[in-house]
Structure formats: C-alpha cells, structure tokens
Amino acid sequence: MKKINTFLLAALLCFFFVIGNNANAASFTFSRNLTIGSRGNDVLALQQFLIVSGLLNITIPTNYFGLATKTALTKWQASVGIAPTTGTLGPLSRGKLNIVIQQPMVDTPSVPATISTTSAAANPVIAKTNNGLPIRIAIPKINVDAKFQYNGLASDGTMEIPNNVIDVGWFTGSVHPGEKGVAIVTGHVAQIRGGVLTKPGVFKNLSELRAGDRLYVTNDKKETITFVVRESHLYDPAADATSVFTSGDNGSHLNLITCEGTWNSVKQSYSQRLVIFTDALQ
C-alpha cells in the first residue's frame, strides 16, 4: 500500500493544463514591440499572460494595449529584473517573455500533453454504494463552485485527472464523499494555450485554505455534505503518502490535492504536492 500511495502522489498532475500538443504549446512568439494603442493577437496573448499572472485586473482580454496593460507590464518587468520598467514590450522584454511562455509547463513523465478522455476518466469503475455520487463542490473562501468529473486509473497505473481547468476530479478508487474513509479530489491550477497562461484553474488559490474553513459537496441524491479543513501539508512527490489516501479512524474525510512549489525544467515537474485534509462535519 505504501508503494502504491507513493506512486500515486508522484504521478499526480502538476495542474498546468496544456491545450494541443507540445509543439503547439511552444509555438507562440512575441515578434514586435507593443505599446499604448497597439492591437492584435499578440496584445491579446500578452493580456492573457498578465491576467493569469495576477498583474492585470480585468476578466476578459480587450485586445487593446491601454494604460492598465502598461501598468501591469511594468509590474512584470520589475519582477523579472528589467530596468528601466517602461511598460512597453520592447526587445529585452520580448526576449524574456518568449523564454517564459515557451518553457514546458506540464509534468511530462506522467501526464500527457493532451489529456485522455477515453480511458478510466471516461469509463471509471465506481463501486456500488448507498451513498450518492458527488455532483458539485463549493469552497466559499476561494470562490470555488465546480462540477465533478469521475477519474479512475489509466492503463499505466497513473491517476486520471480532469480534462479541463474548471471541473474537479473525484478519484473513483477512493470512497464516495461522506462515506467512512478518505475521498480524493484533484483539480488544475491553470490552462496554457499556445505557450501562454490563459485561464486560472479551479484550485489556483487552494493554498489559501486554513483550519476551520468549510467546503460543501452536493451529490446526486440532493444531499449536501459539509467538510471542515483540519490541516494542510506539502509533500515531496516521492514521499510516503499513505496518510493522504488512508485514515486511521472511523470518520469520513475528503482530501484535496494539487501541485505546489517551484518548477524544475530538468525534471519537468513541480517540487511539491499540496494536500488539504478535511473532515466531514458530524
């Protein structure tokens, strides 16, 4: 069991969801200077990058380089050591940005660039039980209100993951949420399109949860189960993760898993896994 749990944790996605194949993901290049008044697909891509980076406070890219885009770009330039920070996308900024967006952003040893939807994720083995199947999860503190996908194990033994960035995945090898034991739920951090971060994922702010925060799972029997955050832990991907997938008591638990830490371009993986441990409110 220890070996299996360690493998499952190591094989979990880094939660950067790539659209298309690896070649397409790295194909976008900023090739011209951009400043106030500029328009075009490159402005759209720049705004998408700045939005997901948390620097541009708009919901939808406007395709127009205005003052807000200039201010956000200035902040990014400062964060990567570009001086002076002009707020204009010139040769130096373009060079640095092209390097950033063309870096691989998925855990390639265990997660394919295009997520399979024809194996365990599409045809999960779900144990028969009197408990309902999870339909939606709500985490008010981090503004999550998401649908569930049902994800099992792929043919290579790795855990299947949601095939988009807005749903969460219930691992069908775990108990139903609300049953005695540990239910496992996974989710993405962000989407990458054409090498550019384009959309935040459902678990982008998972690390903000603290002990006492509540989340709610609604099932297909229209029952809502309340879970309370007990604690959170960071794991090395190769660590013994028995405590993530099992419980020593007779209670009902739900653990949320995503990736955390720093990106290692050599290992093509993030350095840690974040697990939020929660208990069903009795």
Tokens 């603290």 appear where?
Answer: 210
pTM of the model: 0.61
Domain spans in the chain, listed from the N-terminal domain onward:
2-10+108-280, 29-101
pLDDT tens readout for residues 265-282: 555 556 778 899 999 997
Report the residue count for the chain.
Answer: 282
Sign of CA dihedral 148, 158, 24, 269: positive
- Per-residue model confidence (pLDDT) at position 119: 31
Mean pLDDT across the stretch 10-15? 50
pLDDT for the residue numbered 26: 38
Q: Which value, in Å, is the radius of gyration of the alpha carbons in the chain?
A: 20
Q: How far is CA 97 from the centre of its chain?
A: 22
Per CATH, the architecture of 29-101 is what?
Orthogonal Bundle (1.10)
Q: Is the pLDDT of residue 205 over 70?
A: yes
More confident residue, 114 or 167: 167
The answer on pLDDT for 105 being more than 50 is: no
Residue 16 has pLDDT above 50, yes or no: no
Q: How confident is the model at residue 19, as a pLDDT?
A: 37
As a whole-number percent, the residues of the chain with pLDDT over 70 amount to: 70
Question: What DSSP assignment string belongs to 246-258?
Answer: --SSSSEEEEEEE
pLDDT band at 190 (very low <50, low <70, confident <90, very high): low
Token readout for 18 is 């790539």
Residue 160's pLDDT band (cuts 50, 70, 90):
confident
What is the per-residue pLDDT across 42-54, written as a single tens digit (0 to 9) for each? 888 888 788 767 7
Q: Are residues 192 and 16 in contact, defined by beta-carbon separation less than 8 angstroms?
A: yes
254 CA to centre of own chain: 18
Q: Residue 206: which of 246, 161, 255 has the closest Cα? A: 255
| Averaged pLDDT, 53-74 | 86
pLDDT in tens, 163-182: 888 899 999 889 999 999 99
Question: Residue 163: how many CB atoms within 10 A of its CB?
Answer: 17
Banded model confidence at residue 243, pLDDT cuts 50, 70, 90: confident
Neighbours of 242 (CB within 10 A): 15
Segment 119-152, tens digit of pLDDT: 333 344 454 456 789 999 999 999 999 999 998 8
**Which pLDDT score, from 0 to 100, does residue 72 have?**
93
User: Rounded distance, CA 179 to CA 199, Å?
Assistant: 33
Ranges 86-95, 127-136, 153-162, most confident = 86-95
Structure tokens at 138: 């709500």
Both ends of the chain: CA-CA distance in Å? 29
Task: Name the superfamily (CATH) of residues 2-10+108-280.
Answer: Sortase (2.40.260.10)
* Predicted pLDDT at 140: 96
Give the pLDDT mean for 29-41.
91
Of residues 98 and 142, more confidently modeled: 142
Give me the chain's average pLDDT, please.
77
Residue 107 has pLDDT above 50, yes or no: no
What confidence score (pLDDT) does residue 41 get?
81
